[in-house]
Structure 1
């Protein structure tokens, strides 16, 4: 059986600490997972990066490769950005690609790669007018954004609880989006 390739990209929000379990769940569903992280998320998971690379069988990436370097990952069949922070969502919608994972998902829109995003923001960020505009822009671009009634629900500031982040909804959407 040929496996499908999932790029799982995460930002620095508390649910990123659960990424190993998400990778294992995706692998159980037949996905070959490549993990990409924002630089801050990579710093948060610093002690686990070699274990995560062993789990996926691919290097964990948080930086662009140098010109002329070969790609180290297979091509993606679908890309999931979760948890996607306020900064990541807004940068992606604006096309600000100074971070590797944002650059890949921004380019993926133009390449027609199926995309799923699940934000992880508190209620204060969710009420900021730029956030809703960015969610709308991403949806207009064809990104399946799981937010509020369709995915993650913002919590009050300071109430971060990784346990309530609905990773199962993300993986279901990945399967549906990939067809």
Structure 2
């Protein structure tokens, strides 16, 4: 946990992928701050182009990570107490479940399993992609790894307005009981 203003705060990594709703990540950041979390954002290389990185830095106080740091460089983010993958794409879900760690985002997710870091995922994809048999198998594997799976139902391909069904706060709702017990962060961990 990080300590800010003398009070410990749990640290949340938000992994953002290249999906149409990714630009709304500020909603999750704001909700996390309101619930007492400090936040750092890791974007997939393609997801980085979907964000306003300067706005994210202004809200979190941390750089948006997308690439591996070089040996000897300090870690720009504290270790996570939990991870929210929102939005998660078809590609990320399948690669993560298969143990592919070819980006910082995927490497972080693969390591989180071994480290026992509670992780929630909110997939965002169209129904045509979701119909592929690999996707259902990947979600089953992630659930078997203890990943908390939420998110809206897949939307029709090419549909507009699907962004309205994406409930960013669901990631926090999924995470808080496993991280803090049924009552959320202790009073000293909020604010």
TM-score, normalised via structure 1 length:
0.93
Measure, in 1, the Cα distance between the counterparts of 2:27 and 2:169. Answer: 11
- Segments of structure 1 that go 5 or more residues without pairing to the other structure are none
| 2:30 pairs with one of 19, 24, 27 | 24
1:24-173 alignment, distance < 5 Å: 24-45=30-51, 48-146=52-150, 151-160=151-160, 161-173=162-174
Indicate the SS of the match to 1:39: coil
Measure, in 1, the Cα distance between the counterparts of 2:145 and 2:38. Answer: 26
Q: Which residue of 2 aligns with 1:7?
A: 13
Indicate the SS of the match to 1:2: strand
Tell me the CA shift for residue 73 of structure 1: 0.6
Tell me if the contact between 1:116 and 1:177 (Cα under 8 Å) persists in the aligned partners.
Answer: no
Tell me if the contact between 1:5 and 1:32 (Cα under 8 Å) persists in the aligned partners.
Answer: yes
- Segments of structure 2 that go 5 or more residues without pairing to the other structure are 1-6, 181-191
TM-score, normalised via structure 2 length:
0.87
- Moved beyond 4 Å, runs of 4+: none
Tell me if the contact between 2:16 and 2:47 (Cα under 8 Å) persists in the aligned partners.
Answer: yes
Tell me how large the CA RMSD over aligned residues is: 1.1
Tell me the CA shift for residue 163 of structure 1: 1.6
